[in-house]
């Protein structure tokens, strides 16, 4: 359980970091790409404008000058007459450098991206020449490719490192909780073991009493058997670290189960009314089902006003037990929260009011361990109804 929690924490830590890196890196790569694109266009426009100024000053077309610097040599420059005839050294003019209808166009020449800027020059209102500047965008493309690879592999490496760091940090964070959970489980196991000896002793004494008072003796022996079975299930619950329990599955009579739980609850001054619906049979563990009902009826005593109606029914597929009280009820948005461990309906920590906050959580777990389900509904007219569903007797096979 804690290994899975630790892994989820580490994965979430790495996932969040990877998302942040990809978001920031993607934004940075986009800004860099746009900056390089604008820089390439501005450089070509500046080169073309410089040649246009020379033509305007001369008053007639002049061939482009030789490039003296490496940065200028990367840019191809051509001058064309209005009819499209090039001037200057034709051997140095690449065939792809020709005027276009748009001021800026991108082309692919021999698999390489090329940008071409076309600028028209006029003198006295008449067209004199057309200046064309162009260069390859391969350096920018290669740079962006390297940047993307760096961002991708850098982000993946950072995510892997964050995963290991998150695993280590999660281990340190979970360790105190794991120790507390194990201590709780060991305490429940020790308590269950310690209860066995006095229960065995009490049973021996009651067996002697039963010879003189058979009716009373049988009742007390029945309760001792119930406590013994409950102790065994507490031990199984304490040992189940994977939130699963192995409970017996056998036919049981809901009327007997409900009346037994009601009889115990009535001792605590809980006023209960029982309503049975025919021969209601289910498949489950009798002791676990009674323990779940005990916790529900204890909740009625503490929070439900001390009065409730217990009813049961069954069909071919499902068996249902309902405990409807007339207490203050609970907000619909909080009905699922009460099944969490250590949840208290009363903020007080006093046992008489708040309890331990484990009753309904244990009830649901005991019912679900039998293949059933448990939920809360509003009682018509006010109050809260707890419903416990178990597999019907026809689903035994």
| Domain assignment present for 307 | yes
The number of distinct structural domains making up the chain is: 1
| Domain assignment present for 109 | no
Q: CATH no. for residue 288?
A: 3.30.565.10
Confidence label for 386 from pLDDT (cuts 50, 70 and 90): very high
Average pLDDT score over the chain: 79
Mean pLDDT (whole number) for 373-378: 92
Q: Which residue has the higher pLDDT, 271 or 198?
A: 271
Confidence label for 387 from pLDDT (cuts 50, 70 and 90): very high
Strands 318-325 and 384-391, sheet pairing: antiparallel
347: pLDDT strictly greater than 70:
no
- Structural domain including 347 reads 250-395
| Domain assignment present for 377 | yes
| Domain assignment present for 391 | yes
Q: pLDDT, tens digit, for every residue of 75-93?
A: 889 999 988 888 877 767 8
Q: Give the total residue count for the chain.
A: 397
- The pLDDT score that the predictor gives to residue 352 is 43
- The pLDDT score that the predictor gives to residue 93 is 82
- Distances in whole angstroms, Cα of residue 112 to Cα of each of 21, 99, 135, 137, 239: 31, 19, 10, 8, 69
- The pLDDT score that the predictor gives to residue 397 is 44
Q: Which residue has the higher pLDDT, 335 or 276?
A: 335
346: pLDDT strictly greater than 70:
no
133: pLDDT strictly greater than 90:
yes
- The pLDDT score that the predictor gives to residue 355 is 40
Backbone CA torsion sign across 18, 24, 27, 32: negative
Q: How far apart are the first and last CA of the chain?
A: 31
Bridge partners of 104, per DSSP, are 117
72: pLDDT strictly greater than 60:
no
| Domain assignment present for 99 | no
Closest CA to 62 of 127, 130, 125: 130
The upper half-sphere exposure of residue 30, i.e. CA atoms within 13 Å in the direction of its Cβ, equals 6
- The pLDDT score that the predictor gives to residue 363 is 84
Mean pLDDT (whole number) for 344-371: 62
Q: Which residue has the higher pLDDT, 118 or 347?
A: 118
41: pLDDT strictly greater than 90:
yes
% of the chain beyond a pLDDT of 90: 24
| Domain assignment present for 315 | yes
| Domain assignment present for 384 | yes
If you write DSSP's letter for every residue of 345-376 in order, what string do you get?
SSS---TTTT--S-HHHHHHHHHHTTT-EEEE
Q: pLDDT, tens digit, for every residue of 221-253?
A: 666 766 766 665 565 555 554 445 567 788 999
Q: Which residue has the higher pLDDT, 351 or 277?
A: 277
Mean pLDDT (whole number) for 103-129: 90
Query: Residue 293: how many CB atoms within 10 A of its CB?
Result: 26
How far is Cα 117 from Cα 41, in angstroms, rounded to an integer? 8
191: pLDDT strictly greater than 70:
no
If you write DSSP's letter for every residue of 27-64 in order, what string do you get?
HHHHHHHHHHHHHHHHHHHHHHHHHHHHHHHHTS--PP
| Domain assignment present for 102 | no
């Amino acid at each position: 359980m804690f290994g899975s929690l630790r892994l989820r924490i580490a994965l979430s830590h790495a996932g969040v970091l990877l998302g942040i890196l990809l978001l920031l890196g993607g934004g940075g790569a986009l800004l860099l790409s746009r900056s390089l694109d604008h820089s390439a266009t501005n450089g070509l426009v500046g080169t073309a404008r410089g040649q246009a100024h020379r033509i305007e000053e001369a008053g007639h077309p002049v061939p482009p000058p030789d490039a003296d610097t490496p940065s200028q040599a990367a840019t191809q420059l051509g001058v064309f007459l209005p009819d499209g005839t090039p001037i200057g050294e034709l051997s140095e003019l690449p065939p792809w450098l020709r005027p276009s209808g748009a001021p800026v166009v991108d082309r692919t020449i021999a698999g390489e991206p090329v940008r071409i800027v076309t600028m028209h020059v006029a003198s006295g209102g008449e067209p004199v020449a057309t200046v064309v500047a162009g260069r390859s965008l391969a350096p920018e493309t290669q740079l962006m490719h390297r940047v993307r690879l760096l961002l991708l592999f850098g982000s993946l490496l950072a995510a892997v490192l964050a995963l290991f760091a998150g695993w280590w940090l999660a281990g340190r964070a979970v360790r105190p909780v794991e120790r507390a959970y194990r201590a709780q489980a060991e305490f429940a196991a020790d308590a269950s073991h310690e209860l066995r000896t006095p229960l065995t002793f009490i049973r021996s004494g009651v067996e002697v009493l039963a010879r003189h008072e058979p009716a009373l003796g049988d009742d007390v022996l029945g309760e001792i058997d119930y406590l013994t079975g409950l102790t065994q299930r507490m031990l199984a619950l304490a040992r189940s670290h994977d939130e699963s329990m192995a409970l017996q599955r056998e036919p049981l009579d809901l009327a007997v189960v409900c009346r037994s739980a009601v009889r115990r609850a009535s001792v605590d001054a809980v006023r209960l009314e029982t309503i049975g619906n025919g021969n209601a049979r289910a498949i489950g563990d009798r002791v676990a089902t009674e323990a779940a009902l005990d916790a529900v009826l204890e909740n009625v005593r503490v929070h439900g006003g001390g009065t409730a109606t217990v009813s049961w029914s069954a069909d071919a597929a499902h068996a249902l037990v309902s405990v409807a009280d007339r207490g203050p009820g609970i907000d619909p948005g909080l009905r699922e929260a009460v099944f969490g461990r250590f949840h208290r309906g009363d903020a007080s920590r006093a046992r008489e009011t708040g309890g331990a906050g484990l009753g309904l959580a244990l009830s649901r777990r005991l019912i679900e361990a039998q293949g059933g389900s448990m939920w809360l509904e509003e009682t018509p007219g006010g109050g809260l109804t707890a419903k416990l569903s178990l597999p019907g007797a026809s689903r035994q096979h």
